Amino acid sequence: MHMSRLRALASRMLTASARCLLAFLALGCFTMIASPLHAAPVLGAHTLLAHGEGLGVSPTVTDPIDTQPGSTLLLMNGGYASNADTPSDNYGNRFKSLQRAVAFGNGYDRFNVSSYIVIGAKGGQGHRLTFAKRGEPKGEISVPFIEIRGGVVKDIAQTYAEPGLQVTSGKVTTTGPALLLAFWWGDGGVKRMTAEPGDGFAIVDSFLKLPDESGVQCAVASRSVDAAGTYSVTWTGAPVQGAILWLIAFQAPPGTPDVPPSVARAH
Give the per-residue pLDDT at 39. 82
Q: CA-to-CA distance for 70 and 136, rounded, in angstroms?
A: 34
pLDDT category of residue 40 using cuts at 50, 70 and 90: confident
Q: What is the mean pLDDT of residues 193-221?
A: 97
pLDDT category of residue 267 using cuts at 50, 70 and 90: very low
Q: CA-to-CA distance for 122 and 173, rounded, in angstroms?
A: 28
Residue environment code for 10-37, b if the CB has 16+ CB neighbours within 10 A, otherwise e: eeeeeeeeeeeeeeeeeeeeeeeeeeeb
Pairing of strands 141-149, 42-51: antiparallel
CB 168 within 8 A of CB 224: no
CB 54 within 8 A of CB 213: yes
Q: What is the mean pLDDT of residues 183-197?
A: 96
Q: CA-to-CA distance for 219 and 185, rounded, in angstroms?
A: 7
pTM listed for this prediction: 0.83
Lowest mean per-residue pLDDT among 3-7, 142-146, 262-266: 262-266
Give the per-residue pLDDT at 190. 92
Question: How many residues are given for the chain?
Answer: 267
Average pLDDT score over the chain: 86
Q: CA-to-CA distance for 186 and 82, rounded, in angstroms?
A: 19
